[in-house]
Amino acid sequence: MDIIINATIDAAPEGSVPIPAQGNYYHHLLACLGYPVDAPPVADLLRRYHGLDGTWLVASPIHWQATHNDAMIVACNASLDLSDEESRHWFDAWAAYLPPDEFNLHYHDAYTWLIQPMKPHPMHALPVHTLLHQPMMQHLKALDTSLFWSSLLTENQMLFSSHPLNDARKDAYPINGVWIWGAGQLAAPVSRPIVCGDEASCHLARVVSTHVRLYALSQAYSKNTIVLSVTDEPFKNHTARRYWNNLAYMNKASCRFIRFWRSLIEH
């Protein structure tokens, strides 16, 4: 069982085993469905979720730092400590800056914005969390041969780094750029079962699966099930791989719970 939780956790439970994490709720879902972890079509997933037309990309707010002869991303996602309200202010500032005849933008959540270039500009970019503390020059050069995207990111850096919204961030990392990624197309929905904690998760799951239902305490779930939730509480005694937005781990059910579960099956 794969349990994907759209939240962060302070630390993995004692006795759990660390497993690779993808740093993003939507990336975790696609990875569990077999999409490549270095090229997950997160933008196409969210495009379909919102009913948008055309080709979109993910834009993630970031904090860059210059090094001796390079640069690196040192903060993204939850480490930026962005509220939804503040993120919308940043999003609106970016929307006011970009030429409306060249780009469309769509807000999804505090750490996930969508951008659509009006003209096709192919690009290849790794997911933002995989680039943390990595030299960036090689990745900027690899975005595209036309330098369209690297030029845009440089222009965005100048906008964000000098923006007065940073004055209120105090001890938090300043927002001084975005990283654009998440290209690619989804395949047809699969039949792998997905159980959801709420209707919004069901709406997302139906984009990628034909077998989606709300969680019910009275029902048993197969080991092949994916769970989408905002809390781990209903499933804390299940043997599962757990994916939080900031870490992932494998745990095993307690012997007491196993005996209880077997008693239900036998009766």
Q: What rounded mean pLDDT belongs to the chain?
A: 91
Cα(169)–Cα(192) distance, integer angstroms: 43
> What share of the chain has pLDDT > 90, as a percent?
83
Longest dimension (CA), the chain: 67
Per-residue pLDDT at 244? 95
Per-residue pLDDT at 60? 98
User: Which residue type is seen at 43?
Assistant: A
Per-residue pLDDT at 255? 43
Per-residue pLDDT at 264? 43
User: Which of 5, 53, 49 lies closest to 204, judged by CA?
Assistant: 49
Per-residue pLDDT at 257? 40
Residue 251 has pLDDT above 60, yes or no: yes
From residue 108, alpha-carbon distances to 12, 60, 66, 85, 87 in Å are 28, 11, 29, 12, 10
What residue spans define the domains of the chain?
2-25+189-266, 42-181
